[in-house]
Structure 1
Amino acid sequence: MSQPTSSRSNLAEALSGWPPPVLDPHGPFSNTVTSLTWVLIALVTLIFALVCAALWVALYGSDTLRARLGGEGVVKWFGLVVPAGVLFLLLAWGLTLAAGLTTIQGDELRMRVSGNIYWWRVSYLDAAGKELHADANELHIPVGRPVVIDMVSEDVIHSFWVPKLGGKMDMIPGRTNRLKLQADRAGVYGGQCAEFCGGAHSLMGFVVVAHEPEDWQRWNAARLARQQPQPAPAAAPVDDEVLRGSRLFGEAGCAACHRIAGTSAQGLSGPDLTHIGSRQSLGAGILPNHRGTLIGWIGDSQSIKPNNRMPAYRSLQAAELHALAAYMESLK
């Protein structure tokens, strides 16, 4: 199965460049946000110019101009009536623009994203809201099809934001919010938590991979096939190092927190690792995913992402780290 062509395979690259991602929309819902942004920028610029002009008159204008500027009529109109009118019109227009950002039409792809300290639990849902398959820190969507995402939090307030594909939405414990995304072209898009949630907040990223519709159908069918009738592991151990890594996964206690479908590892407090070998990034969008970064993350994730909930495994020898990384890499 082909992957979307993109040189921006990790979060830092996906969010770099000019114009800023929020001003470079790649979908209809981000277009809405961008339109509102440009209007606000224009209004702020106009107000700034008017304030500068009023300041110049107050400092250097003639007595007549200064008297008019300080008159009761000017204060009433430009201090009360005009601002109130502009704000009312802006609110009405903004609500009209945003009306379609959460409305479900019935043909959308359904997903649920749960915010955790400091990673994202991703679930693909059927029309009734039942989970079909799960992932972590990475969303795969088809180009040209709207996606409705149910937003929940499992600990503190987070905020889900993919600047090029849509607006941002807070994830509040005990509440489900909803956001729509859509990509108009294939590629890899960076996302970020936009609400301070703790010490490693700035390192809580993710990626959205937009496939052409045919590629996404093949990707989704392959994922669904592994769930029926009994979830199967992404790949069986194929050599001695990978086999050793699979054994170490259980012996080191990794299975207590992580799930790998088709194995005895069914932990739910950490990211699902069933397909970690095929992910674009590692550590919730902060590292490219390959064997070297896997070794570093397993050995001492705290030095890479302080305050995350995975302990450092400094007691593991180099050969053991290599074996665990080889096993993780084989899970595709």
Structure 2
Amino acid sequence: MGAAALAAGCGDDQAAHGEAVAVIQPESDGAALVLDAAVITDLAAREGVDAEAAREQALDVLRLVAARRDELATRATPPTHPDDLDPQRRAALERATLARLWLDEVFEPSHGADDIPARVLNANMADPRVSRRLFHPDVWFVCQALVMPAGKAADGQPTPVPGAPVDDEVPADLEQAARWYAEAEDAFAPFVARVQRLEPELLGGDCALLGRLVGASERALGDAESPLGVMALRYESFAFAPSTVQGFDPAWLEQVATLDGPGLVGPFPTNFGLHLVLVSKIEPANLADASLPEAELTAAREAQLRHELELSWRGQELMASLEDMRARRVVRMAAGLEQER
């Protein structure tokens, strides 16, 4: 298949086409294929792309047409016109064009964001999963590697550091806690050094790398014969909103909340172990509670939710419309068969 020549600009032969911005000349004999500026403008508006992307799309089509002409020119008995198509191919293109016309002029104008029914909006607005994802205060995405006492307490909660002042019922032994932290720091040090060497890679992605590092490391640390007990290396990943969080260890929250962007924090101690925390992303607040007067907040949330739902709702409506068309066509055909009988 030959390559077509491409030229930019417009000449006398192109004036009839309007404002020509490019010309493709097939290698075989035949009229040049002219790309008009109006085509680019229309394509950019229809596809939602910039003028340069629309120009490249249009040129790709013209190159295919030129290549087809070159291919047909090599035949011993070419068709009457070099653009003639196989009847089945022509019928398929005509159906596709009619479908696109129906979508452009009938379906899409009546199925925009403003056409989403109130019942659909209300159902999604009432879904806590949707509201938490779209409307929230600042959200921090974090993961951490931590060294903590192995095993769990009788209530299923993590075992606190021996001697740590967890509650009033168990007397604190600060000397014992200090020995545990010192031993944990020594056991944690090789892993921490490895993580710090990889800090640029960690900050350039999500938490997956830290999780792999923990997974590839020895999970049981310390001396089993030590009176302080065996320690465990653990990995956690979660998101939280500092302004609304409840139940977090205050010492942990105080350390992590000092960052104003992605970064590593620690190692630092809490009553439950030594923590090395990666803040991978901080998602800014978006239409959080009390961020606007109530009426403005409701309107802004509805507008964003309509935008969020538009494509999925339109797709569902399209499938329903096509199914309805099929059903009506079957009914008409069945009625016609009955009449013939």
Provide TM-score, normalisation by structure 1.
Answer: 0.21
Q: What TM-score do you get using the length of structure 2 for normalisation?
A: 0.21
Of Structure 1 and Structure 2, the greater helix share is in: 2
Q: Based on CA coordinates, which of the two structures has the bigger radius of gyration? A: 2
